Copies of this chain bind each other. A is one copy, B any other.
Amino acid sequence: MTAGDRFLIDGLQYCNWSEKIFRELRAGGITAIHVTICYHENFRETIANIAQWNRWFQDFPDLICPARTADDVRRAKREGRTAVIFGFQNPAPIEDDLSLVEIWHQLGVRFMQLSYNNQSLLATGCYEAEDPGITRMGREVIREMNRVGLVIDMSHSAERSTLEAIELSSRPIAITHANPSSWHDVPRNKSDTVLKALAGSGGMLGFSLYPLHLKGGSGCTIRSFCEMAASTAELMGVRHLGIGSDLCQDQPDSVVEWMRVGRWTRDTRGAAGPLGAAVFPPQPDWFRNNTQFAGIADGLAEVGFSASEIDGIMGGNWLDFFERSFGAAGQEQPAQNPAARRAASKGV
């Protein structure tokens, strides 16, 4: 595979979307992005967010298109567009209603976090003092997400809840945007115990490029980041790794406050708590926008990853995961990775 053939897939972004950013996605050759369409929005508010994306798809058909399957992503690549996959950072859009899991899948949503920072009806967030694991409703929702093909994402969840979600889920789950806490020890990063369990169940980790998740913060070097990727590959196996940059380009700081505070507190200082002031920190200079995404491959090469390993981390592993994860249970493609799938289609 040459660099031009490579699938470039970002496992999570939440930019302040605009024609400028859509053009940067194309300039950067990004094949697909998983975009957050809900932090705290309820059912009706999230519908409005999808309606906004529908308008963007209509307005910029040469730049972006919706994707619900791995095949949609492949088609987008052939057509020179960036495929957009919807996801929730919070189960708020299902409110208290199990039947909304399937409704959202029908509307194209493919990832849902079971909790975002706080306790949800399903699981615990990483900033709660206590983590009792998956709740009664959480067990029901996991079963239903497994059935319809909505991926469980535990990026912002607490440790016990995450381990239980991996255990209870009959299908691999994702941590779309986080790093190992052995590299940078903050509540949002993940322990080796979690990362090994994730890999052991066939799941995916997307490496985050959000400065609060990086050793050295905004000053983190691409070398340090890629060395972290190499040691994580030793822990988890390289095929479980991708990028989930958490890029929040062009967002005003009021959006960080919304993420943290939602509607559950008025105490913007207290809620900021362990995270400091509610401002977006500057991105590392080697990843300020999507035009720099492909450059991460060079850093991975420098720390010793092979070309095919880099293909996997830069997008191939996410594509394989989409293949296995986005359909109804029992409808998964038998092939477990693009190479095997290609071989199967050639009858070899």
Q: Which residues of A come within 8 Å of B, CB atoms? A: 40, 42, 92, 95-99, 118-121, 124, 127-133, 135-138, 140, 262-267
Given contacts A119-B135, A119-B138, A124-B132, 15 further A-B contacts (CB under 8 A): A42-B96, A92-B96, A98-B263, A99-B263, A99-B266, A119-B119, A119-B121, A119-B137, A120-B121, A127-B136, A128-B132, A128-B136, A130-B133, A136-B264, A140-B265
Q: List the 6 closest pairs (A to B, CB-CB), nearest first.
A: A130-B132, A97-B263, A119-B135, A137-B264, A132-B132, A140-B265
Nearest residue, chain B, Cβ from A117: B136
Bound complex: CA A42 to CA B265 (Å) = 19
A96→B264 contact, CB < 8 A: yes
Residues of B within 8 A of A121 (CB): 118-121, 264
B263→A96 contact, CB < 8 A: yes
B264→A98 contact, CB < 8 A: yes
Bound complex: CA A214 to CA B98 (Å) = 33
CB distance from A264 to the nearest CB of B (A): 4
CB distance from A92 to the nearest CB of B (A): 6
Residues of B within 8 A of A129 (CB): 132-133, 136
Residues of B within 8 A of A264 (CB): 96-98, 121, 136-137, 140
Residues of B within 8 A of A128 (CB): 132, 135-136
Residues of B within 8 A of A265 (CB): 98, 136-137, 140
